[in-house]
Amino acid sequence: MPPRILIVDDDPTIRDLSRMHLGNAGYDVEVAQDALVAGRMVLRSPPDLIIVDVNMPHMDGFEFVAALRADKSMPQIPVIFLTSEEEGEYRGKDLGAVGYITKPVRVDRLLQLVAKCVPGGMHPIG
């Protein structure tokens, strides 16, 4: 069974393109338009990896991951932050982020980082 990835971003273009590229690489991909929807999805069935935008309405990506980390019944799911901000790396380290991708997203970088975090797609990038 391929690794399951949850992409959380309020930009439908980023969600759709990321889903397409990761799906073509052999991953099972789900998407959520905000942290509230993503939280329900994670509680129902924790993914193998979460890719989350830093800037979103209602709850930003850092707050979302902090809430997940605060729930001790939740497994420690690897997280990659999508950011256009310099502070993304600094704040994300405190939350145990395994990586960062700056916007605009480069597909090759996305696939490389995901393959390092959750090997098992059909077309891993070396």
The span from the CA of 111 to the CA of 121, in Å, is: 10
pLDDT at 126: 37
pLDDT at 112: 92
In Å, how far are 4, 62, 73, 123 from 69, measured between CA atoms?
19, 10, 9, 30
Segment 28-82, tens digit of pLDDT = 999 999 999 999 999 999 999 999 999 998 899 999 999 999 999 999 999 999 9
pLDDT at 78: 94
Domain assignments of the chain as residue spans, ordered by start: 4-117
**Global pTM value:** 0.90
Q: Tokens for 29?
A: 């991909």
Region 9-19 average pLDDT: 95
Segment 83-98, tens digit of pLDDT = 876 555 556 666 778 8
Tell me which fold the domain 4-117 belongs to: Rossmann fold (3.40.50)
